[in-house]
Amino acid sequence: MIDRLRRRLDGLPQPVRQRIRRLWLSLVPIGQCAVAAGLSWWIAVNVFDHPQPFFAPIAAVVSMGLSLGKRWRRSVELVSGVAIGILVGDLLVSQIGTGTWQIIVVVALAMVLAVFLDDGPLIPMQAASSAVLVATLLPPGGVAGFHRAIDALIGGVVGIAVGALFPVNPAHRARRDAAGVLATMRDAARKLAGGLRAMDEATVSAALESARGTQEAINTMRADMRGGREVSTISPLYWSSRDRVARISATADPIDNAVRNFRVVARRARGMTQRGEPLHPEIIDIIADIGEAFEVLRGMMIADPGGEPDQADAARVLRSITRRARADLVADSSLSETAVMAEVRSLLIDMLMIAGLRRSSAVATLR
């Protein structure tokens, strides 16, 4: 059943597949936001007896969002911003009334106070919007203003509680994102090696563009890794996953650096191809093997705990490649070929670090 559904999805146009995949990955956060919004409204109405606590579900949804990362930070910023906006709005509107210039004054003062107190991007926006509501639609002063601040606090707390009690697997997204980047680099390395063998500038350029197109995926990977650490810290259900999430998160910088170094390799290789300079066949073989090593790293990333390939398997494959990436291969080479080899060696250091080696150990392997 699942295989048949997957085949049908694979037959859809690429834009449709991307949208379905994005929706699938967002289903749990969407459910969390919906539950948190309804629960925060119920608590504000039935427990605190607030007549129209619309700030509660708004705060719950904004504090959670679809991103896993910084939910705790968003909750604090939102509650603080709402409180500042209500405070400024209640104090000023009750004295100066409402109107065009009053809104200008209220919004400016609320945002000035918010920026002065904290550098978070959400606080000034929430302070301004809350102040506008008080200055235009809501009666200022009295118990109503206090209720609005409480509603925002309820929403923020409920959002954090729902995220802790019904969490997303903190390691799943991070592993998937990292594996996706590594798969792209696998294909790019294979393409680069093929283009260099054929002296095909178009293929080499395509490999470079593939590597350049990974930045958004890397940014998403980093955000999900931060979110995974946050979930494993807040949610009791995943406290046992902290070490694993930490190990996965430790690959963020090496993966990013490996992609950057590969871009340099591909850019230098393209320059050699444009000038008609052939690259040493053994260096091309090393680049091709790097593509296979990226595949091993991808398999390591998505393997279940205790499964294969693991970090030791990946390190073993990479060590065999580094033994062949000798500096004497370019002892009598041109400056361009020497530069490519130097970047290849730097790339191997990054890949060894993805496999769990410390930088000093990775560098020692190349020596």
pLDDT tens for residues 63-105?
776 555 566 666 677 777 777 887 787 777 777 777 788 888 8
Residue type, position 242, single letter: R
The pLDDT score that the predictor gives to residue 3 is: 59
d(CA 4, CA 165): 33
Q: How far apart are CA 177 and CA 172, in angstroms?
A: 9
Mean pLDDT of all residues in 277-287: 92
Residue 188 has pLDDT above 80, yes or no: yes
100-104 contacts at long range (C-beta below 8 A, 24 or more positions apart): 102/135, 103/132, 103/135, 103/136
Is 230 within 8 Å of 292 (Cβ atoms)? no
Phi, psi of 51 (to 5 degrees): -70, -45
Closest C-alpha among 124, 121, 95, 94 to residue 109: 124
Residue 317 has pLDDT above 70, yes or no: yes
* DSSP secondary structure letters along 165-192: HSPPPTTHHHHHHHHHHHHHHHHHHHHH
pLDDT in tens, 320-367: 999 998 888 877 778 888 999 999 999 999 999 999 899 999 888 877
Domains of the chain: which residue ranges?
30-165, 172-366
For the domain made up of 172-366, give the CATH fold.
Methane Monooxygenase Hydroxylase; Chain G, domain 1 (1.20.58)
Say how far apart CA 4 and CA 11 lie, in whole Å.
11
Q: Are the C-beta atoms of 218 and 305 separated by less than 8 Å?
A: no
Which residues fall within 8 angstroms of residue 364, CB to CB, at 6 or more apart? Answer: none
Distance in angstroms (rounded) separating the CA atoms of residues 320 and 292: 12
CA gap 126, 111 in Å, rounded? 9
Which has the closest alpha carbon to 261: 189, 355, 356?
189
